Structure 1
């Protein structure tokens, strides 16, 4: 009766866990099953033009704490005016708004918004006051006053490419001439040199600045292993402790130390400012009103004498978090730029895994097959460790009868008992910790594999068999007959083929393990595979492929190792029979009572 009650309790708690998990994921990470919402913006012309003067207002020229002007701007309207400079590189397309000198139109040519081939490229930057506003600006503060955001700049050319830099200029009535010389490389880096020439008869106080403003509406979820929000490296240390909600609470975050770079990160995308030489007054992050956020670099104001000039350089990264590209910039001198990817503690393991995954994908031409091969290789490398673990378990099983005799003989003298047991270990050449050490070694390895599959942009929108996107959940949900029935399956019931395979293979590994357990432990282990089936169903299909493959290899490994150590299995089966007999005797005694 007690065991039945415990089983019912375990089932009820499992149901609550499944429903609670689904509720928590929908509440705290409402888009967790999707790629970055930035991918879902309607495609706009890759190189189009901006609104007329006054249609956008950059929050930089607002008083402290003031809100941006109300009234949304339509994306097509904001990109409709020919008063723009086209951006065109092998990886980027878009335009520069000459109203306010804003870089507010960038799409990524290599990445689609969705799995649909005609969905258009991912939009990273969008003009101010559009629904998904996200833009950068290079500007000046003159005599304590921001340059008007509707100031119109003149361009030296009509297209910014790796071969054709562009300089924006603007002259004021005060005799000051401002210029922003822009160049761009083959990847995602824009270099800007801000200059001011003073042709007046009086000195001028000039403060250059550069900033990135964005809304959090199109941000990817901030999760335990994938950070989304403010990020930067200060004094050689990565700082990514705050998400957008936390930045809203504190209002402003100005990290101490020299700034290597700072910006905003999503799961797959990054915008970052890399300050050039020159003293800075303030560098950090700030929460504006209406869900807007800023990362900015404000340099120290300088006095330019009559006939003098000022020059300040800054770089802007706007693109995909491809580790090869980020590492290349890091090698060129940007400290820890590769850490914009949330590698965590096991980066030294994860990067070789990612390299191997890319290599396998290049060989077989399919990312799903590459994941399977990677799992096979890793499990193969771990096989000698598993052999040692089983050998240690076999040794421990062999000395169990002697250990029990010692424990019985010295049951009233614990100190002597421990001494005799240690002596037995030494004589039999067994180490009780040897069985645990392989498990401890495997934990960081398999966690590193998990993170690689979560973070690798290479897995995004990659197909495998019936799966169109390995970075998304398995689309073949069983309850609606794989989409043939016209209804949407609720989140926690959206069990796909891979999730079922995960549950079945895990259940088989537990059944194959002959370790003796008490009835309650046995019930928990019987339920766990099916609980994990529900919990893991919304995760990326690529992760489930890895886990299912790993379980199948575990089954094969256990079969082989038990065949090599029959005494281990026989001893465990004997203990299991003894435990079953003991349970039966207890039930019989309770029945008589």
Structure 2
């Protein structure tokens, strides 16, 4: 390599190094490049992660599509929900094509109260919404060999749509279908037939069952939450027995040991009832859970049921639904309207009390109530029923009063005849002397209790009838806007212990009438008591006067119709007692008794009945006391 070549290489190297040095970035430029490099690295990492996530989602969707494509009702799992309305003059039912069941029930011609506003009645609606899609859920489920078919997930195709009919069909693979046929009758009955087509072979042997899950949050429909909640129950009918219900006050869950004909989600005046033609199999699980007052719902109802199912479609699974009022006559007619030929006894949804009280209400109160309500307003009907009952019981009440009056006029003679028995140890002898005189004069000391005993079954019968009489719902009378709920004269926002959030005027009137009646009763009984009985009566007086106060706290939340009935009944009872007292001639009555005593002396009769048994018991007690006294004296002598 010659000298010129070397010089050339040196110059080229110098030029390259000089250019590189001249192009070298500053520190700020180097820092900025590092920041841009980090940003580019992060962006590239996010891009790669997004690509991986997209690929995973695509794989998952492909897997789900593959799984759905193997499901029996794959094509019915997609669709658009559509509302279909069935209606008549009584009810309007909204069905949804997703799930194929009733999602809303509106009962016509009954006022729908706005329970959030206790005073503003302008917010009430002309019809009652029994439930909406948020409140109730009904699901039919078929457990096949491979998967579970649930109607709540299926989109049904509607056909044959009219105001009273609709056919909903869910199509499966290989021509298989599940069809729901609905027919609305002329009143409150909705019929459903569920039919399969070509599904035989997809179930396990012996497991061809249709499972039913029915749930409802029972809405508060009346203004008085506490009072309505007492009559809201999950009720059911045993196939081989009568009706029964879960606890109305506490959470209750039961597994049925018998087959059932129907299940009812009931509130005070309206019910949703599901009836199965083939019945619900044993093992049904029922649950009722009370809900808080602030929710404006009464209870949460749950029913898990099972009934027969024919996958071949040769036999359909048939149901009937009742969405309507708890009217005794109407519910009794449902049995005739039903196509199943069963003794449904749905009128039992109107609770009329225990057997004795139910007989009174079933064969007297309802007939009289129906007859009078065709002519008079409901408030007048309650007054007329009260007057009729007083008229019927008047002979017995008068007889009982006269027995008490006889004891009253004999009181001076009893005091005179028993004054020597004033020591505590002589009380048994005093009682025997009194019983002997009662026997001579032909007087029964227990007859004065009969007026209350006579009226008690009627009082209890009306206690069960009035709160369940839907005819009183929304009916006004005098100051009472609604006879089926309380009538507040004072209201406030919060609940006070024992009282609640109001004071009911009819409850005050009822308690006042109770005090008046108690005073009349006490005066009558006080005039006939002798010795120790009179002392005991003083303590009883305080109890009798405290009872109206207790009744106030009990009945303040009860319906104004019930309180009004009790007020009128007690007022008439006090008036009858006053009238009998004023028209009784004590001197004449005493003369009659003296004549009877003389007659009994001439023709003595053997004492019998309760008086004889009481006298025998007193004699036995007297003998026992004498025996104890002799033993005590013998022990004392031995100690001495």
The TM-score normalised by the length of structure 1 is 0.69
Contact 2:139 2:214 in 1 (8 A): yes
The Cα of 1:104 is off from its aligned counterpart by 1.2
Maintained 8 Å contact 1:236/1:335 = no
- Cα drift, residue 544 of structure 1: 2.3
SS in 2 for 1:435: helix
1:153 aligns with 2:156: yes
How far has the Cα of 1:520 moved from its partner? 5.3
Deviation at 1:94, TM superposition (A): 2.6
Whole-Å separation in 2 of the counterparts to 1:275 and 1:493: 43
Q: Which of 201, 221, 235 is 1:231 aligned to?
A: 235
Aligned counterpart in structure 1 of residue 389 of structure 2, from 354, 372, 378: 378
- Per the alignment, residue 177 of structure 2 pairs with 177
8 Å contact kept, 1:228–1:267? yes
Separation in structure 1 between the aligned mates of residue 136 and residue 556 of structure 2, nearest angstrom: 33
Aligned to 1:561: 580
Alignment of structure 1 residues 447-466 onto 2, 5 Å: 447-466=460-479
1:17-416 paired onto structure 2 within 5 Å: 83-114=82-113, 115-116=121-122, 119-127=125-133, 130=134, 133-138=135-140, 140-143=142-145, 145-147=148-150, 149-161=152-164, 165-198=165-198, 202=201, 204=203, 206-216=208-218, 218=220, 226-234=230-238, 235-243=240-248, 245-247=250-252, 250=253, 253-277=254-278, 280=281, 282-286=283-287, 292-300=300-308, 304=312, 309-330=314-335, 333-345=342-354, 346-351=357-362, 352-364=364-376, 366-401=377-412, 403-404=414-415
The alpha carbon displacement at 1:556 in A equals 1.7
CA shift in 2, pair 1:437/1:548, >3 Å: closer
Asked if the contact 1:354–1:456 (Cα under 8 Å) also holds between the matched residues in 2, the reply is: no
Call closer, same or farther: CA 1:424–1:140 in 2, change over 3 Å: same
Q: Deviations over 1:243-297 (max 9, x none)?
A: 48423xx4xx221123122222111121222221267364341479998532243
Match of residue 514, structure 2, among 481, 506, 512? 506
TM-superposed CA distance for 1:334, in Å, is 3.4
Answer yes or no: is 1:552 the counterpart of 2:571: yes
Moved more, 395-404 or 287-296: 287-296
SS at match of 2:503: coil
- In the alignment, the residues of structure 2 paired with residue 520 and residue 289 of structure 1 have an alpha-carbon distance, to the nearest angstrom, of 41
Structure label with greater radius of gyration: 2
Q: Could you say what secondary structure the match of 2:448 adopts? A: coil
Alignment RMSD (CA, Å): 3.7
Deviation, structure 1 residue 198: 0.8
8 Å contact kept, 1:281–1:300: no
Q: Show CA shifts across 1:393-444 (max 9, x none).
A: 1222344455556656788788877666555444322223333234223111
1:340-389 deviation digits (Å, cap 9, x = unpaired): 1222202111233133223222102x211211121121122221121011
Q: Deviation string for 1:202-259 (max 9, x for gaps)?
A: 5555432444311256588687994423211213132213348423xx4xx2211231
Q: Which has the higher contact order (CA 8 A, sep 6+)?
A: 1
Distance 2:382 2:107 in 1: 26
Q: Structure 1 residues 207, 512: closer, same or farther in 2, change over 3 A?
A: closer
SS at the partner of 1:464? coil
Contact 2:406–2:443 at 8 Å: present in 1 too?
Answer: yes
Asked whether the 8 Å contact 2:230–2:248 carries over to 1, the reply is no
The size of the alignment, in residue pairs, is: 468
TM-score, structure 2 normalization:
0.64
Tell me: CA distance 1:155–1:139, structure 2 relative to 1, closer, same or farther (3 Å). Answer: farther
Instruction: Report the CA distance between 1:126 and its aligned residue.
Output: 1.2
Query: What is the rounded CA distance, in whole Å, between the counterparts of 1:271 and 1:279 in structure 2?
Result: 16
Mark the runs of 5 or more structure 2 residues left unpaired by the alignment: 1-79, 114-120, 292-298, 527-533, 591-640
Corresponding residue SS for 1:168: strand
Distance in 1, Cα, partners of 2:551 & 2:249? 31
1:126–1:134 Cα contact (<8 Å) kept: yes
Secondary structure, counterpart of 2:278 in structure 1? coil
Pick the aligned partner of 2:450 from 430, 437, 457.
437
Return closer, same or farther for 1:152/1:288 CA change in 2, 3 Å cut-off. farther
C-alpha separation in 1, matches of 2:199 and 2:242: 42
Verify the 8 A CA contact 1:230 1:264 in the aligned structure 2.
Answer: yes
What SS does the aligned partner of 1:441 have? helix
Conserved 8 A contact 2:517-2:573: yes
